């Protein structure tokens, strides 16, 4: 099992891009596979999570060819041959690996088919709540059994069913739930509506628009009419701002640093991390330079002494995946940072409130734990420690960043999990640790397969 060994850095001067966005890559695989022709997807995230979704679509009849790959990981540029909404029964149960997004979106896609499918995942995914999708899908007429040892958990046995449209008032602000219901709505006759209690990432709506599937938005209501066939299109996935967040925090917390992250997704439903780091004192600017429905641009950041902040209730869904590394920034900032209303963290790949609190305490930070978050009193010097990732990619990467500011060595154990969302993280970490002068060229080398 691999590990990261990290020591403090005194300088960070770099310009690079991070791999493709995980949320968008899942959706590109699904909509490409449903489309009425051949789609070229560029900068797909070749991570375990997204490759599992791609292979799920293949098992359902949508073949793909790899044009370029990241050696040892998976496709970066590929062509998917869509099935015009007519999927075929898979020969075997479908493995969703570690991916909550993959399993929940696929559950929506498969709820209204003429065949049964079983979806399963790893131990972490098998302990995450699936009732949040099986309940609304059940209201649409789906027949889904949760076969897990833990009630309401995967494996999911999704029987053939005919769906009816519903209006669903979501009890949790979850883009995965919204997307599962909208995908199911594509297979129901009539209009399916989701009401979200707070704004969540809107990549499903944006990508449906790229594939010429209309959705309507009225405040927090999002509606879709069933029966629309996604029109094949080409799509370039921007870099993942949630992956960029690790380096943004490293640069923000190191006075004198300079970092330019290039070609990253700047969808406003994902950029609260930038507001938070600015509020904490980092000097930053972002410029949108292009858009394919999704705004894409560069983020420039220069470090400065940071001060604590309060994460606003409305910001939480927008930066939920960044909270582990924001907590690291908070430990490095002067004063208190308050993160509340974030109970959802307890049902991510790990209970991220507990894993973050334990890790920060092990490194000497002052943290109080709450049921729905934590309060961090920053400014105490961090010291190296051995941190177990618990198989959670964002915990492994967040504590690698903490290690860049700690006295002595920090060892992060069980780090293969970073391949879930950020293949190449170790390469970037190594370049930053060794202050490589070729920092402008951190790009991960792809190999042509065409
Ligand atoms: C995601 C939505 C978020 C996020 C996850 C990806 C998505 O989860 O945490 O990493 O792609 O829709 P929730 O929608 O459950 O909050």
What does the pLDDT look like over 441-450, one tens digit per residue?
Answer: 566 778 998 7
Average pLDDT over the chain reads: 96
- The pLDDT value recorded for residue 442 is 65
Q: Which CATH architecture has domain 22-222?
A: Alpha-beta prism (3.65)
Provide the CATH number for the domain formed by 3-19+239-436 in this structure: 3.65.10.10
Atom of ligand 1 nearest to the CA of 179: 12
Q: Is the CB of 223 under 6 A from ligand 1?
A: no
Query: Which residue minimizes the CA distance to atom 15 of ligand 1?
Result: 174
98 Cα–ligand 1 center, Å = 13
Query: Which residue minimizes the CA distance to atom 16 of ligand 1?
Result: 174
3-19+239-436 and 22-222 share one fold: yes
Residue that the structure tokens 């920092």 belong to:
439
Active-site annotation, residues: 321
382 Cα–ligand 1 center, Å = 30
Q: Is the CB of 98 under 6 A from ligand 1?
A: no
Tens digits of residue pLDDT in 5-35 = 999 999 999 999 999 999 999 999 999 999 9
- The pLDDT value recorded for residue 439 is 53
Strand 191-195 and strand 221-225: the pairing is antiparallel
Q: Is the CB of 193 under 6 A from ligand 1?
A: no
Q: Is the CB of 432 under 6 A from ligand 1?
A: no
Q: Which residues of the chain have pLDDT under 70?
A: 436-443
Query: Which residue minimizes the CA distance to atom 13 of ligand 1?
Result: 174
Q: Is the pTM of this model over 0.95?
A: yes
Domain ranges of the chain: 3-19+239-436, 22-222
Q: Is the CB of 174 under 6 A from ligand 1?
A: yes
Tens digits of residue pLDDT in 175-223 = 999 999 999 999 999 999 999 999 999 999 999 999 999 999 999 999 9
- The pLDDT value recorded for residue 436 is 66
121 Cα–ligand 1 center, Å = 16
């Amino acid at each position: 099992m691999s590990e990261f060994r990290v020591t403090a850095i005194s300088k960070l001067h770099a310009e690079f891009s991070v791999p493709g966005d995980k949320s968008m890559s899942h959706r590109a695989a699904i909509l490409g596979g449903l489309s009425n022709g051949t789609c070229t997807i560029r900068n797909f995230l070749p991570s375990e999570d997204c490759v599992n979704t791609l292979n799920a679509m293949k098992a359902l009849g949508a073949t793909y060819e790899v044009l370029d790959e990241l050696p040892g990981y998976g496709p970066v540029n590929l062509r998917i041959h869509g099935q015009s909404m007519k999927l075929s029964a898979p020969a075997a149960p479908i493995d969703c690996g570690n991916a909550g997004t993959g399993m929940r979106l696929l559950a929506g896609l498969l709820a209204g088919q003429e065949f049964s499918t079983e979806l399963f995942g790893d131990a972490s995914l098998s302990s995450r709540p699936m009732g949040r999708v099986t309940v609304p899908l059940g209201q649409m007429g789906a027949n889904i059994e949760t076969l897990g040892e833990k009630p309401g958990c995967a494996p999911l046995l999704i029987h053939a069913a005919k769906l009816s449209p519903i209006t669903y008032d979501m009890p949790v602000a979850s883009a995965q739930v919204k997307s599962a219901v909208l995908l199911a709505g594509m297979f129901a006759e009539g209009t399916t509506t989701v009401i979200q209690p707070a704004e969540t990432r809107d990549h499903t709506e944006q990508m449906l628009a790229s594939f010429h599937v209309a959705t309507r938005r009225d405040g927090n209501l999002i509606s879709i009419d069933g029966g629309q066939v996604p029109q094949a299109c080409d799509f370039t996935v921007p870099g993942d701002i949630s992956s960029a967040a690790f380096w943004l925090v490293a640069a923000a917390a190191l006075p004198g640093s300079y970092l330019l992250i290039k070609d990253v997704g700047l969808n406003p439903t994902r950029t609260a991390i930038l507001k938070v780091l600015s509020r904490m004192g980092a000097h930053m600017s972002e410029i949108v330079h292009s858009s394919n429905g999704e705004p894409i641009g560069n983020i420039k950041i220069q470090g400065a002494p940071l001060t604590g902040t309060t994460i606003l209730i409305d910001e939480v869904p927008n930066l939920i995946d960044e909270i582990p590394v924001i907590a690291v920034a908070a430990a490095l900032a002067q004063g208190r940072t308050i993160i509340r209303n974030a109970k959802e963290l307890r049902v991510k790949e790990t209970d991220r409130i507990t894993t973050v609190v334990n890790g920060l305490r092990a490194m000497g930070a002052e943290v109080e734990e709450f049921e729905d978050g934590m309060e961090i009193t920053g400014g105490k010097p961090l010291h190296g420690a051995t941190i177990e990732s618990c198989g959670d990619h964002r915990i492994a990467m967040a504590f690698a960043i903490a290690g860049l500011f700690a006295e002595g060595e920090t060892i992060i154990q069980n780090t293969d999990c970073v391949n879930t969302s950020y293949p190449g993280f170790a390469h970037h970490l190594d370049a930053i640790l060794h202050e490589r002068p070729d920092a402008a060229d951190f790009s991960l080398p792809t190999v042509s397969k065409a």
